[in-house]
Amino acid sequence: MLVLGGSVLIVGLWDLLAWLTGDERQKFAAIAQLSSAGIIGALGGGLFFFTRGGDDYLGRREALLLVGMSWLIGAALAALPFFLWAHLDPAVDPNHPFLRFIDCYFESMSGLTTTGASVLGTTPNDIESLPPGLLLWRATTHWMGGLGIVVLFVAVLPTLGVGGKKLFNFESTGPTKSGVKPRIRETARVLWLIYLGLTAVQTIALMICGMSLFDAICHTFATLATGGFSTRNASIGDPQFGPAIYIVITVFMLFAGVNFGLYYQLFRGKTSNVFRDPELRLYLTMLAIASIILSVNLINMPIHTTGGQYIGSASVGEAIQHGTFQAVSIQTTTGFVSADFNHWPFISQATLVTIMFFGGCAGSTGGGVKVIRVLIAFKVLLSSAERVFRPNAIRPVKIGKMAVDPDVRLDTVVYVLGIIVLSFVGGVLIMMFEDGRPKGDMLTCFTASVATLNNIGPGLHLVGATENFGDFSGLSKALMSLLMALGRIEVYAIFVLFVPRFWRTE
């Protein structure tokens, strides 16, 4: 809470400065953010004060509780600036989604989980009509969420032995004599430096390609977190953004989808491990294949930009530009859009839906089920088939040179199946909530479920590239917020909160 409050404070002070130097639009954004900072800071400070000197033991169950509640409560607090601004600024449209708290919660959950689905979009309540201060805050929730998830999955959970520890190609494998805290702190410090370094490099690169400092910072925050919030209605399809910007963003999305544990190893000088990493290799291979399928499939196909222009049949260059960009954006679950893929041929759409499900690498800021799980699940499927006709041949399932532990095999397949079941149940519930409403069709509701659970952002049809989530009912928005949180922290840390046995002491 203190970190969150501090971040709102910084953005609020920047708003204040902008207002004082003449930008009237920033006035109510500044007031909303400084008040939010006060409220969040008071809450966090109060909790800190009253729990001082308590037992600071952090076991497995406490860690899960902390993680689960962080996202659920954090999103409510991060929603305050949106909500307060909409109620303070008299110029706000009476139908503005931010006047409803559930919409603000959806937006900030989408930010913190690095999903990038937005309730904004319909004129006059479009993205570009927000004060710059709120656009920066949206991007900041991405950036913080991305950093949080990397630290959580690369530094905290493996050290505590919770969750997918064994999935990570990572040196720390459990508590040592010196205790876990120093190690977590040290790893987190390095990850933070790497994240900050990437942020600085991408911001400068985008400015060199012609973006303003403001746009460059916001898009960098959204890229490295594989979030997807843009400052423009047309996302990266904005006519001001040229091919150089596409290339920079594509490269950094690709970086963001890599296991940050590998950057940590690079930082430590262990380069050979990194390039032999089977997940990284498969990740790059998948991206290459998807980009080629899309690029080839799009040649001579009609391209509609997200700005609403029809730019005619795609030349080879345009097919590569949009095909590669969209493949990387969707597989890394960033969700930036450059062209309206609702108009694309079925093969392209099927490829996008498939890779959105695969997602980034474990330990990256990307969502989805993660490349390493896809790899393990695929190998387990093959070995199961072989066992039918050769039940006595014991052939271990290997990833790289390591045999995969039987428990991990089961957990991985269970996880993939669980995500599919959750996507289906989510889709059915959304359809029930949207019955008779404008977004009640099957393709919209089911891809909305998949796109939120896998932290991607856009889906297909009425949640496609040029659409938004504003017209869903409050119930659906609440459900999708839960799905985003579930997907982001890999289900269990939220799921167990609803399991009675979790709360029982042994």
Binding site for its own copies (CB under 8 A): 60-61, 64, 161-163, 345-347, 350, 377, 380-381, 384-391, 406, 409-411, 413-418, 420-421, 428, 431-432, 435, 442-443, 492-493, 495-496, 499, 501-502
Q: Which is nearer to its own copies, 65 or 284 (CB)?
A: 65
Shortest distance, position 482 Cβ to its own copies, whole Å: 16
Q: Which is nearer to its own copies, 17 or 347 (CB)?
A: 347
Shortest distance, position 60 Cβ to its own copies, whole Å: 6
Answer yes or no: are the C-beta atoms of 103 and 477 closer than 8 Å.
yes
83-91 LR contacts (CB < 8 Å, sep 24+): 83/32, 84/31, 84/32, 84/35, 84/36, 85/28, 85/29, 85/31, 85/32, 85/33, 85/131, 85/134, 88/28, 88/31, 88/32, 89/27, 89/28
Residue at 388: amino acid letter: V
In sequence order, the 6+-apart residues with CB closer than 8 A to the CB of 482 are 494
d(CA 120, CA 130): 9
Shortest distance, position 153 Cβ to its own copies, whole Å: 14
Q: Which is nearer to its own copies, 311 or 353 (CB)?
A: 353
Q: Which is nearer to its own copies, 42 or 410 (CB)?
A: 410
Beta-ladder partners of 339? 305
d(CA 101, CA 107): 10
Shortest distance, position 372 Cβ to its own copies, whole Å: 16
Q: Which is nearer to its own copies, 132 or 458 (CB)?
A: 458
Q: Which is nearer to its own copies, 312 or 345 (CB)?
A: 345
Shortest distance, position 218 Cβ to its own copies, whole Å: 35
Answer yes or no: are the C-beta atoms of 471 and 438 closer than 8 Å.
yes
Answer yes or no: are the C-beta atoms of 464 and 341 closer than 8 Å.
yes
Question: Which DSSP letter does residue 99 get?
Answer: G
Alpha carbons within 13 angstroms on the beta-carbon side of residue 454 total: 38
Shortest distance, position 297 Cβ to its own copies, whole Å: 11
Q: Whose structure tokens read 């370094």? A: 197
* CA distances (Å), origin 423, targets 212, 333, 342, 382, 452: 39, 16, 21, 25, 9
Shortest distance, position 58 Cβ to its own copies, whole Å: 13
Shortest distance, position 425 Cβ to its own copies, whole Å: 9
Q: Which is nearer to its own copies, 277 or 411 (CB)?
A: 411
Q: Which is nearer to its own copies, 244 or 443 (CB)?
A: 443
Q: Which is nearer to its own copies, 247 or 491 (CB)?
A: 491
The closest alpha carbon to 366, from 374, 375, 376, 356, belongs to 356
d(CA 366, CA 254): 10
Beta strand 310-313 pairing with 398-399:
unpaired
Shortest distance, position 402 Cβ to its own copies, whole Å: 18
* CA distances (Å), origin 169, targets 153, 259, 361: 12, 9, 11
Shortest distance, position 139 Cβ to its own copies, whole Å: 32
Residue at 187: amino acid letter: T
Q: Which is nearer to its own copies, 44 or 418 (CB)?
A: 418
Shortest distance, position 349 Cβ to its own copies, whole Å: 9
Tell me if residue 258 falls in helix, strand or coil: coil
Beta strand 402-403 pairing with 310-313:
unpaired
Burial annotation 350-363 (CB, 10 A radius, 16+ → b, else e): ebbbebbbbbbbbb
Q: Which is nearer to its own copies, 206 or 404 (CB)?
A: 404
